[in-house]
Structure 1
Amino acid sequence: MNATAAQPKPALTQDEAFARIRLLRSANIGPVSYAQLLRRFGSATQALDALPDLAKRGAKRDYRPAPVERVEREIAAARKASARYVFHDMPDYPALLAQMENAPPIITVRGDMALANKPCVAMVGARNASAAAIKLARDFARELGEGGFTVVSGLARGVDGACHEGSMPSTIGVIASGIDIAYPPQHAKLQEQIASDALLIAEEAPGTEPRGQHFPKRNRIIAGLAAGTLVVEAAKKSGSLITARLAGEAGREVMAIPGSPLEARSHGCNHLIREGAVLVQDPQDVIELLSGFDGVPRSSFRETAPAYDFMPDDMSEADPADVQGLLTTAPVPVDELIRQSGESAGAVQMALLELEIAGKLVRHAGGKVSLA
């Protein structure tokens, strides 16, 4: 959902908003396929009508979109939680997040959306953080908030909670559950304070309990909202490093606070610095780095962005290419499929879309796909 110049769009009708939620909640529809369906059919209403036929062409004959009653219950739960939906093409959808390759098409929010369009810095770190790291995170977050930045974190125990507390009310909490579910339970009061005084964001449907696969999705939102991600304290194998990697892949700054090589909880930060993250020692380092951020990060901790276009111009008219025989369970770049098949980008993407809706395709980070 890369931002592009366009003519002003008409206001979203209630029927189309409902259809968009239903489309995204339908089986095997993710951010990329959602965007491709809107592009090809012009509206979620028409895309929903086309889903069974597209699934049949992918060899799945019993496909049904998400039930209307399920979406009605979800919307009622959102209203009960005093939350609202923000769609990818609304003016207040966060601009930096919209630039992510797989930005969430719909988010639910409580609080002040203006915070997401101020300069943002993500701060993440260990759940079982040391006392020194907790104090450091709180102090950094307070100074960054006072310096005009919104601090984004994931409401986890340890470093995340300290970052929110230190930067309140200039903070955004991104959660891996529905907007109406407090997780972890120890942070129920903090989560409610963020929703009331700052900004709370969720991608999952209201009523959704957090699961393991939701946390990497949450991490990409944390990284996507901010010009840079600062890791305060993290072990070598840590969810915080996933957030840092996602920030690097998106062309954002990656920063880390160094620690003792004798402390296992510092090994992740030291590894990031060795791999090209910017070493940070005080909040002014972050402010200086991000105040002049122009889209070209100083940190070299990043991977090359995929070369393919996930939504090519010719997709609206293309017939699907025959690419299933080129796929295995090993992830392969989409642009490699285009080269090997000799077909247009639109034809390949249409074939992948049909396979995805049929439940036969998995999309991976970095523009890669594989058979399920």
Structure 2
Amino acid sequence: MHDPYFDIRPYNDNEVSGVITRLSQSLELRRALVGYRFPSSPAWTRPALYWLVGWHLRRRLGAMTSVDEVQTWLVRWIEELINKTTSRVEVAGLDDMASGASYLWLSNHRDIAMDPTLINFSLHRQGWPTARIAIGDNLLHNPVLADVMRLNKSFVVKRSAASKREKLTELQRLSGYIKQSLDQGHSVWLAQREGRAKDSRDKTDTAVLKMLALSGRELKDDFTTTLTSLRPVPVLVQYEWDPCDVLKARELVARADGSSYAKAANEDTQSVIRGLTGYKGHVRVCFGSPLKDDMLADAHAMAAEIDRQIKALAVVMPVHRAALSLLQRHFNLATDVNPGQVDEACCRALLSRVQNEPEAVVRRLLLNYAAPLIEDETLI
């Protein structure tokens, strides 16, 4: 039977065994796992460790025949990763929704891999099924990462289509796949915009919402009818510390200067690894209220409500106050906002992250952390 979503959907259960065999034979994956698990191991021990990790993967995963088995095995690793890289994870809002229903989780986007990982971890911890995850095809240049992501319920958003006609075709197919997933009882995670909010300004892109509405074209359903059927819910993911903060600040400064910024061949992969393994401190995952009625009148009304809920769910953390205080002390930031009680240890921690960085990068990083306290976007 023809599968219209073959090249964008997650792997099915009958494909799991072949993917696991391919991954267990990947030297790149074994190197990455050894680097994570045994970062201080001497170089002469690496070949033996690569063999040992490959053997372990084959032994633990070789008999698995379903995505659920893989995700169940991954839970222990995810818990270990979260325990190592966060001080705590706070989850709120799920109790107000029906656990048996499928939802379209529309979240802000700060980290490539951790945003959906934390949302799925939060769902799993409270007894919910995990969601299917939308990822950009820019992440799939690395075949190992592509296999890992698609094995873990990820589906592909094709951003590299060449012509307008091809782009529209791919958007319609993506919209249809999301609608089909939800109709079949699978929740879906989608970021509120394409790409991370590197300046810490979480703004919903109406183009994303209009894409979702394409699934109603065939039935001639209007925007409100189509989006109501998708059961959209805004979600906030908030990090105390961003492991990619310096990288983001450097990129924003380069772009602001008019400099051309070309990503390195493995930059997205490195961002994934840094986001996963870097320290994040206090993390909050807050599920908002389902959108309905006038909130879904059109794409602009929907975007405004998503933005309102995400902003309302956020809290001010000590790092935000510290960043604003440093901006006022060292950069004469033109704002009347009082940072309130400032944690000087937090100030020192911020400055230690940007040692030896140019002044422009220091200012940009502090602006990113202070953004929740600064209403005047012209300052950001």
Structure with the greater relative contact order (CA < 8 A, sep ≥ 6): 1 or 2?
2
TM bin (shorter chain):
under 0.3
Q: Normalising by the residue count of structure 2, what TM-score does the alignment of the two structures yield?
A: 0.24
